[in-house]
Amino acid sequence: MSSMSERCSQGNIFHFVVFKCRSFSGYNFSLCEFCVVADSPGRPVGLFTPPDVYNSTTLLLSEDEETLFVGARDALLSVNVSQRGGLVLNQKLDWSPTEKDLNDCSMKGKKKTDCPNFVRVLQVLNSTHMYACGTFAFSPRCTYISIKCFIFIFSCIKVYSGFCVPLCVLDGELYTGTVADYRGNRPIISRHLSEGEHVDVKLDDTMGWLEDPTFISSTFIPSEEKVYFFFSELAGEYDFINKFTVSRIAQVCTSDVGGQRTLQRRWTTFTKLPYNVLQDMTTLHPPEGASEDDTLFYGIFSSQWSVNSGRSAVCAFRLRAIKDVFSGNYKYLNRDTVKWSTRVQEKIANPGECGLHNASDNTLRFVKENFLADESILPVNQELTIVSPDHQYSNIAAQRVRAAGGKDYTVLYLLTETGYLHKAVLLDKGAHIIEEIQVFTKPQPVKNLLLSVTKGLVLVGTSEGIASVPVSNCSYYSSCAECVLARDPFCGWDLSRRACVDIDSVRENVGQDVEGGNVSEVCKPRLRSFSLKSPASELVYVSLNEVVHLRCPAASHLAQLHWERLNSQISPKIYMQHEDGSLSFLATPSTLGQYLCQAVENGFTQTLYVYQVRQKSNPTVQPSTPSRPQITRTSESGRGSTDATTKGVTTPQTKDETVRKYMDIRERQLLAKNPSYLQELVVVSVLLALCISALLTIALFSFRQRCHIRTAPHSPGSRRDAERAGEDVSHEREALKGNAPGAGKQNGHAHGVAKSPNSLSNGALNGSNGHLPNTPI
């Protein structure tokens, strides 16, 4: 299993050297401060999509950065770049293969969609001419183009075979990393169009010099007189079960013309070193007056192992460290066992050193067998610059920006594979993602990234068009707090204009804190200019027992969202706060009222949204499922979220899972400690009063019965009468039917009190034996 240290490790520079990054684990970077989409107000993104132009993926800026040259499918474009980022088509050149070329391409077994001429290389040769190369139906061709007139000068068929990828032009000579045939079986690093004492040279066919490489980019270091190539390839020095891919940096000297007998017209200064799977590389030259050894190379790395799929890392390497590794020991390849080992014998020469083309054959044989550096290049501070667990970066650009306090900061522009641009500033505590910008409305793979420092633009090329994004737009931050919290070295709070402005327009009395983003220190001491954006507010009318869902549109992803109620608490037994910061609860008399959504960042609290939840004036019978509350928007101020769904109030969809979730809220509410018990108290009181009344009635009845029994006279014949009554049941039944004397009289008082000896009481029927009691007068 390869860690990131292995991945950003093993590689060499035509003397190969290995770049070594640290492992992914334990590192992370902050979320983006502000995330916007292509159509967001205040953050313009220009899109250039000329008709009948496709695959505009190769970009080149003129030296004055006034013109953008675009390599597309079967075409070359000249585009004017304005100061505000607008792109205007100047001229279009058709460069299509002939029918014969297309037929030959099909005979090679290629798909018809792969046979057009895809322009892969655009490079300025000098002040008057440009060099372009295209796939041309899998028969690569190159041509010269007049920069001033933008016309073909002449076309050189197969100036060299293969698909050139990284290319560097020095004094009219082309240094390329490519393959020597359309099948991609013969990778080479070569120099072409040499004149005078310089001759065209290429890599020797010795086994192990290049192993299935993927070339990324190249750069020229004038003080070293060396061209550096960045690529990935299979690493033969590691004895793994699976093929192990590493990233390499290789070097060649521009003065190299090959050996006299050994390595004739072959590089004598080729060496390489490893790091891991490289995606893109950019060069950041040191500030004026600094040593060229401080040149920095920022590379994007990914992993070939599935455990780290979807993750990216950015590593920074210093030129001084690269030179030290190239000056160290080298590995030796045993041609019999095809095994690499560290050479222990005395080093005859230092591989990669310029001037070796004049060395003896013995020295050149040593150089030919020792081209892979033994050590790896460690990144700056021996740590990752940025690691992203969620985004796969594909392209990178870098620039140095001087902040208001005079300190220089490095700003990186990183493109994800789905078309999002991350703008990051490198701080002492680590990388801070200032903003994420959706370059295209529909995310799509991005093929090229170009930075124009003088125009202040980031240019992005894709298969559908070219996007131009300003490197900054300070007016996007509407308050001092937002301006400071962004920690954008381009922007500062202007005290006189009370606005967030580009620091180049005003250098004095500018509020800025790139390192800490401390609002209290920057904004509050300047009370006159300290202003907060007025929070947006809304009225929400709901019915009782209706689920209410309040959203809080926070632009900053670094802030913690917090909900407040006046003179009340947000109890988790009644309220549910979701991961996106929204709040859900059931509408009851106790949950109606005002709600404040607040953002807390760096100890600074700001109210973002105010809701007034009120009951509808004419409540009706509530449905069994939650319904959508009616919303009356009273005002909208400031910048809301870029997602339309985060503005205003919405209700959850009436899905079973959602309903069950909110029924749980209702159950929690019934069990809560704080709600009112007025209704329950009234019910209990009524029940208690009824129980007491019933008990008093029963007690009074029992008391009267006992008093009556004690005061009633008893005769000796009463018992005999009772016995006789049992014998004369038929006579009594006749009496009950009205046949007995006195049967027509009405019953007297209740509880068996008779008015006459022959009258019957209804209450006496309830006796235990069914007999009528003898009740004397």
DSSP 180-233: SSTTS--EEEEEES--TT---BB----TTS-SS-EEEEEEEETTTTEEEEEEEE
pLDDT at 319: 94
Which neighbouring-strand residues pair with 560? 600
- Range scoring the smallest mean pLDDT among 2-16, 111-125, 528-542, 572-586: 2-16
CA angle 694, 695, 698 (to 5 degrees): 85
Give the three-class secondary structure for 7.
Answer: helix
Q: Closest Cα partner for 22 from 380, 404, 491, 367?
A: 380
CATH of the domain at 144: 2.130.10.10
The answer to whether residue 72 is domain-embedded is yes
- Range scoring the smallest mean pLDDT among 112-116, 279-283, 305-309, 438-442: 305-309
Helix or strand run (H / E) with residue 725: helix 717-727
Find the mean pLDDT for residues 257-282: 81
Q: pLDDT tens across 510-523, in order?
A: 889 999 899 888 88
Find the mean pLDDT for residues 88-117: 90
The answer to whether residue 764 is domain-embedded is no
Asked whether residue 738 carries a pLDDT value surpassing 60, the answer given is no
Asked whether residue 37 carries a pLDDT value surpassing 70, the answer given is no
Q: Which tops the pLDDT comparison, 519 or 708?
A: 519
Asked whether residue 642 carries a pLDDT value surpassing 70, the answer given is no
DSSP assigned state of 568: B
Query: Considering 374, 409, 438, which residue would you say is the last residue of a domain?
Result: 438
The answer to whether residue 250 is domain-embedded is yes
Cα separation, 661 vs 670, in Å, equals 15
CA angle 339, 342, 347 (to 5 degrees): 125
CA-CA-CA-CA torsion for 610, 30, 305, 13, nearest 10 degrees? 150
Please state, rounded to an integer, the average pLDDT across all residues of the chain. 75
Find the mean pLDDT for residues 63-68: 90
**Same domain membership, residue 387 and residue 495:** no
pLDDT at 678: 65
pLDDT at 231: 87
Give the count of domains, the chain: 3
* Residue 72 backbone dihedrals phi, psi, to 5 degrees: -125, -165
Residue ranges of E strands in 310-427 = 312-318, 330-334, 339-342, 372-377, 386-388, 393-402, 408-416, 420-427
**How many Cβ atoms from other residues are within 10 Å of residue 256's Cβ?**
25
Find the mean pLDDT for residues 348-354: 84
In the chain, the amino acid numbered 283 is T
pLDDT at 265: 84
Cα separation, 725 vs 138, in Å, equals 129
| C-alpha pair distances (Å), 215 with each of 167, 229, 447, 546 | 10, 8, 15, 61
Asked whether residue 664 carries a pLDDT value surpassing 80, the answer given is no
**Same domain membership, residue 556 and residue 492:** no
**Same domain membership, residue 367 and residue 257:** yes
Q: pLDDT tens across 721-730, in order?
A: 444 444 444 4
* pLDDT tier, 419 (very low <50, low <70, confident <90, very high otherwise): confident
**Same domain membership, residue 304 and residue 227:** yes
Cα separation, 671 vs 546, in Å, equals 18
Asked whether residue 71 carries a pLDDT value surpassing 90, the answer given is yes
HEC sequence for 28-74: CCCCCCEEECCCCCCCCCEEECCCCCCCCCEEEECCCCCEEEEEEEC
How far apart, in Å, do the first and last CA atoms of the chain sit?
113
**Same domain membership, residue 372 and residue 256:** yes
The answer to whether residue 527 is domain-embedded is no
- Diameter of the chain measured on Cα atoms: 160
Asked whether residue 84 carries a pLDDT value surpassing 90, the answer given is no
- Range scoring the smallest mean pLDDT among 241-250, 576-585, 712-721: 712-721
**Same domain membership, residue 177 and residue 250:** yes
**Same domain membership, residue 640 and residue 497:** no
Find the mean pLDDT for residues 655-668: 46
Q: pLDDT tens across 291-329, in order?
A: 999 999 999 988 776 555 667 889 999 999 999 998 888
**Same domain membership, residue 481 and residue 389:** no
**Same domain membership, residue 573 and residue 502:** no
**What six digits make up the tokens of 330?**
């080298």
> What is the extent of the structural domain holding 485?
446-522
pLDDT at 771: 39
DSSP assigned state of 179: E
**Residues 699-736: b if buried by 16+ CB within 10 A, e if exposed:** eeeeeeeeeeeeeeeeeeeeeeeeeeeeeeeeeeeebe
pLDDT at 631: 32
Find the mean pLDDT for residues 179-193: 73
**Same domain membership, residue 492 and residue 412:** no
The answer to whether residue 133 is domain-embedded is yes
Cα separation, 285 vs 416, in Å, equals 24
Q: Is the pTM of this model over 0.75?
A: no
What is the arrangement of strands in the sheet containing 312-318, beginning at the earlier edge strand? 277-284, 296-302, 312-318, 386-388
Query: Considering 671, 700, 728, which residue would you say is the last residue of a domain?
Result: 671
CATH of the domain at 509: 3.30.1680.10
**Same domain membership, residue 457 and residue 583:** no
Q: pLDDT tens across 369-401, in order?
A: 888 888 888 889 888 898 887 788 999 999 999
**Same domain membership, residue 374 and residue 503:** no
Instruction: Choose from 70-84, 234-248, 720-734 the range with maximum mean pLDDT.
Output: 70-84
